[in-house]
Amino acid sequence: MNCRCSVSPGNQFVGLPKALRPRFLSGLSKAEVDSILSAAKHRQFRASSVIINQADPAERFFLLTSGHGRHFVITNEGRKILLHWLTAGQIFGVAAILSTSIQYLASTEVVSDGCALVWERQTIRDLASKYSALTDNVLSIVVMESIAWSIAAHVSLSSDNAQGRVAHLLVSLASAIGKATPDGVEMAVFNEDLADGANVTHFTVSRCLRDWQRAGILAKRRGKILLRKPELLLAAA
C-alpha cells in the first residue's frame, strides 16, 4: 500500500506526507497541529473499502491522507447515488464534531488504496473547543465544498440531454479530483462512476467517451480519463 505518512515502528502516527497541506489545519501553529495530529489514529484501507456506513452513529471524524474516496447513498430501491468525491487532504465524517449525536447521512468509501487519520467523536470535539481555528476550518470546508459539489451536480442533472450531463460531470470531477499533467487533467474514474453520477446508462457513457476521444478532447486509459481540452467538452456536448 502506498502510504506516505510518517509512522513509527509501533504504528504511532508521526507526521503527514510532506506535500500534504490540509485546509482543515490551516491557520494553526506547528505546536497546535502536532497536538491535533497526535490525538488521531492512523488507519490504512484497501480499494473499495466502505469506511462510513449511511445511518450509522456519527462517532468518528476522518482526514484522508492518501488515495481517493467518495460519498454515496443507497436509495430505497437499492440504487447507488454518488454525491461527492474526496482527495488526500480532505475531511469526512464531520457530523461527529456536532454537539448532538446524529447518524451519518451518507456512506463513504475509498476507490483506491489509501490511509486516513481518525479521531473519536469526543476527542475531535475536545480539540475543536480548545482550538477555535479548527472549528472555523471545518465550517468553511463544509459550506464551500458541499455547496460547490451541490451546484455542480444540479447543473449536470439539469442538462437537457444525457451527453450534456456526462460532460458537466467530467468537468466537475476534473476540478475536484483531477491531477494536472503536461497533457491535460487526469482523473481516476470508471465508466460506471460516470453513469451513476450523471444518471445515465453505461452504454451512454461509453458512447460519449468514444466520440470525445475521436475528437481529441480526451483520452481513455485503464481506470483513468485524461481530459485534454476541457474548454471544448461542454461545447461538444
pLDDT digit string, tens, across residues 123-166: 999 999 999 999 999 998 887 777 766 776 677 677 668 998 89
Pairing of β 13-15 and β 80-86: unpaired
Question: Which one of 114, 144, 174 terminates a domain?
Answer: 144
Burial class (CB in 10 A: 0-12, 13-18, 19+), 88: buried
pLDDT in the model for residue 4 = 81
pLDDT in the model for residue 152 = 67
Output the pTM of the full model. Answer: 0.78
pLDDT, tens digit, for every residue of 4-22? 888 877 777 888 988 899 9
Take residue 73 and report the three cell numbers written for it: 447513498
Mean pLDDT over residues 177-190, rounded?
87
Determine, yes or no, domain membership for 217.
Answer: yes
Which amino acid belongs to residue 116?
A
Examine the domain organization and report whether 140 and 163 are in the same domain.
Answer: no
Which position has the higher pLDDT, 148 or 90? Answer: 90
Residue 199 to residue 183: CA distance in whole angstroms: 29
Examine the domain organization and report whether 88 and 198 are in the same domain.
Answer: no
Examine the domain organization and report whether 68 and 173 are in the same domain.
Answer: no
Alpha helices (runs of H) in 64-120, residue ranges in sequence order:
none
Q: Which domain holds residue 232?
A: 159-236
Mean pLDDT over residues 109-136, rounded?
95
pLDDT in the model for residue 90 = 92
Mean pLDDT over residues 208-234, rounded?
90
* Domain count for the chain: 2
Examine the domain organization and report whether 76 and 187 are in the same domain.
Answer: no
Residue 179 banded pLDDT, cuts 50, 70, 90: confident
Take residue 187 and report the three cell numbers written for it: 482523473
pLDDT in the model for residue 108 = 97
For residue 123, give the CATH number of its domain: 2.60.120.10
Please count the other Cβ atoms lying within 10 Å of the Cβ belonging to residue 213: 15
Q: Which of 151, 129, 145 has the alpha carbon at shortest distance from 23?
A: 145
Examine the domain organization and report whether 108 and 25 are in the same domain.
Answer: yes
Cα end-to-end span (Å), the chain: 38
Mean pLDDT over residues 213-235, rounded?
88
Is residue 79 pLDDT above 90, yes or no?
no
Determine, yes or no, domain membership for 154.
Answer: no
Mean pLDDT over residues 25-35, rounded?
95
Please count the other Cβ atoms lying within 10 Å of the Cβ belonging to residue 33: 18
Query: Which DSSP string do the residues of 63-86 spell out, in sequence order?
Result: EEEES-EEEEEE-TT--EEEEEEE
Examine the domain organization and report whether 16 and 93 are in the same domain.
Answer: yes
Take residue 122 and report the three cell numbers written for it: 469526543
